[in-house]
Chains A and B, each alone.
Chain A
Amino acid sequence: MTAIPSSRQRERPGQSLKWIGKSLKRVEDPRLLTGQGRYIDDIDRPNMLHAAVLRSPHAHARIVSIDVSAAAALPGVVAVLTGEDIARSTGPLPCFANPPVEQRCVALGRVRHVGEPVAVAVAESRYLAEDAVDLISVTYAELPAVVDPERAISASGEAILHPERGPTNIAHQRRFAFGPVDQDFGNAARIVRRRLRWPRSGGQPLETVGAVAEYDGASGKFTIHMNSSMYNYVGWLVALSLGVAAHKLNLVPTMAGGSFGSKIFTHKVITLAAALARICGRPVKYIEDRIDNLMACDNHGSDRIYDAELALDANNQMTGLRCKVIDDYGAYFQFGVGHHGNALSQIVGPYRISSVDLEIIAVMTNKCQQGAYRGFGSEVANFVIERLADAAADELGLDRVEFRRANFIRPEQFPYKIPTGNLYDSGNYGAVLDETLRMLDYPGWRAKQAEYRKQGRYIGIGIATCQERSVFSATEFWMLNNEPGFALSSSPEGVSIKIDPLGKVVASLQAPFWGNSPETVATMVLAEQLQIDPADISVTYSDTDHGLAGTGPGGSRYTVMVAGALVGAANIIKEKLFRVAGHMLEAAPTDLELRDGKVGVKGAPGMEKSIADIAMHAHFFRLSMPDDPTLTSGLDAAYTYDHPLTTLPSDDRSDLGIFYPIMGHMCHMPVVEVDPSTGKVSFLDYVAVHDCGTLVNPMTLAGHVRGGTAQGIGTALYEQYHYDENGQLLTASYADYLIPTAYEVPQDVRVGHVETPSPYTEYGIKGGGEGGRMGAPPAVCAAIEDALRPFGVKIDAMPVTPAKLRGLIRAGKAAA
């Protein structure tokens, strides 16, 4: 095992803090509440054209011919372009898989899923563009549709989606062993086995993906407004697709109306809009409509079948985990099996499991490809280990709560290396569990459950004790590949700040607003660092021309990373403030301190200068300061913060290295009632306690927990991208893809917090953006099972729709 790098933490946890830890109202909100958010579709450009795409009606077909003549002849239509037309100037989209799988922004010769763009019309209005799309005539030669992931494994001939990668639809297959697997299973007193099915769902933010591209033929430069989350990280890859140097592409972020992972890159839409703007010589707006987004957003979530086994010793201790997982990746493979890399960061959950055997079989089918959705694969691993924990407790006749507690990694064991090589930096799982039980009044609900049961009502209490890895590094994208490919290992976050001549502060982020609170977080950390009023800080978003190295939000990293960058930049600014103030106050900089918007001499009240006075001096009175070339005019700083704790995997991959160590934890306990006659599940109570280290803003964190919980409930009970045997997406509207409304979620998700600070991050902050969805699905399934114990119902597959639950209840009754 690799050594654990030493901590680079500068701001220690446990300080007395003025702003961090307070529920500051969000600084983003007033403009959002007044309808002035400026989302992508609010961007308008003079002379702008509008694009609409023709979507493939077939799951798998060769494109024989495309006739665009009628569409092109329509008044107001500027261009109608096929994949071949686009490919003359624009190359394949970026792909992190190795070997890559070629994907185009408009299909070239072959369509591989329903909804894939086949042609695109550009017109004076979106209405006209859609009219034109209806006039495009395409002749297809249908190919066999591959839909079932297990049957995809043995598909051959015409059913192979990407023959250039070999005669198989297995995109990736590899088995990994960590720790003494054979010993743990050989010595096991009991092996618990389950076959578990995680359904394909997705982020489905209410704003779709879009881009407004302009191309300046004179300079050869693109300017593109877009709503990607990681534009500073991957913008250069879009430039490669367009065949231009990266500095000829300026990506300008707009506010994003939600992402939940699904806008992580958005490169297809950016590339398409850019290609069209260059061809047409006018600005082009392309915004997915909802059907585009449901069918072809490139960000469907994990779709997995697990054969999972948990070994237990004679003392009921979990020892080994063995899984074979088939994952239906859909038609393309943009992130390779990065999702399984992610899951390996916390695959043993909060439990002392000493070995892991994991075989991954990633298959290609005729569906929209997988991308990112809140959890990025780790939420599935949470579901698997929690379902196994429940199954083990039930088989052993043990209480599900106490069985978990007896298997927890103990507080004194941190930092704790799990078998895969990842590190859990800190934790106190018993404390989170105790707080949850207290808030829920667990004994009280057990008593009520028995009482209700006498009345013929079926109440269940569920539990999930899950990990919430945070602060994504980058090795997960490639470390499971047979040949690594692009073996990136950076995930920095930069920030620049300046103090203007009147003493107000501007911070420029290298990441967008994606629905969370980046401005609020930056404001709170800067107010703390500079001891100034939050009202004196404003936050902007850099475009790629002006951006520093940055990664952007994803993997619950942004709060930790931007805090690190801000601390670094603030330290530079403070040093300069103290130099200038020291000169003004005739004091040594080391004798100075920040106090409430001023710099003063320690121990000398009144001996001080306001930041505004110092700033004016620094900006405009150079000749009043020492003639020292290291002292320059102005007050600004830029700082790039690298991941606080990450290492490379070993060459043989017996140790994946430290790649997701800032480890949060949660306990979710829902109380549900199931109506056995209808299969409806309703919530009577719900407690969610999270430990995300030092709290930055309890109000916004609680917002994430509640929103994530609602999404987890959607995954557990309602949502599915459901494809029929022909590869038609049957849930291609919100009438069929069922997002929970106010009626399907608990009335009050009661949120609690435990704070176990990270020893590695500034102030001890951990990420908390994904947590709710990473815990709710197993907790809800556990509660349903608990409610239906009289029928012996086992929940192995989601979504647990009323119809499916009725089937399970009927089968349970028949067996009884």
Chain B
Amino acid sequence: MVRYTTRRLLLLVPVALGAAVITFVLLLLLPGDPAIALLGQEASGPEIARFRNLLGLDRPVPIQLGLYLWRMARGDFGRSITLDAPVLRLILSTLPATLELAIFSITLAVVGGIPLGLLAARRRGTAVDTTTMLLAQLGVSMPVFWLGVLLILLFAVKLNWLPSFGRGAPLVAALVSGNAGLIMDSLRHLILPGFTLAFFNLALLSRLTRWALLEVLEEDYVRTARAKGQRERIVLYRHALRNALLPIVTIVGLQFGNALGGAVVTETIFGWPGMGRLVVQAIGQRDFPVVQGAVLVLALLFSLFNVLVDLTYAFIDPRIRYG
């Protein structure tokens, strides 16, 4: 197990290198460069040329790439071109908000989606099943921006229950402080963006759970368990669900990665100060150092989470052993 984990963690090095090189090349292929983005329409040709020189953008590509990898290897993420601040500081100031939203929404999706799928599988063919799956269908097909705006108009404007935008106190800090007011403030700000981001995953998980359970419930060992006279609840939770969990955990792992990188729309709608928005803005403004640094951090987080998912398999299914 230790050897396996070490090997998987060492594999993160080529992943980081690959992510760094691919980001670098893709940015080179984008039309328009940081000099133009920063100086804007007011700039003249010679000023842009001077600025490109200052940024080293006029050097041969292999040299630019080499210098960039060397900086990254030393942990030097550079300085943002448009935001006039160190890239690492920008990442560290936005990453907690993104993680908070991602974890909250995945938690919502798991605690909502799996029980709903279970319910639908247990009551297969009944009105409960049909209603749940209709809701799930709605969830996977509803565009995030539309759902977000709808929720704001209903809960913030019409009912005036929840704030329309922004992040409250950081949830972890609020929980540590034990201050009920702060925790409340944090949760009130999290609900709408968290649910918006969770809805698709919640729907997907409920469908997946229902499907996985129905598959498992057809298996011989389930019939044996029932034949032994075990209570339905034990059959369902101890025998069926445990076996159905493997594909579900895989999907949850992948969804967490998506929630990290794909929260951009949600972050934009709710004015959530996360890293997704930072990256998209940086791409639009050709702020290369920010894009490069942020993509690297996201790629590493995503890979790290996949390692964790693989390790959880061993806990869920005793037959899986890593050597």
A pairs with B: no
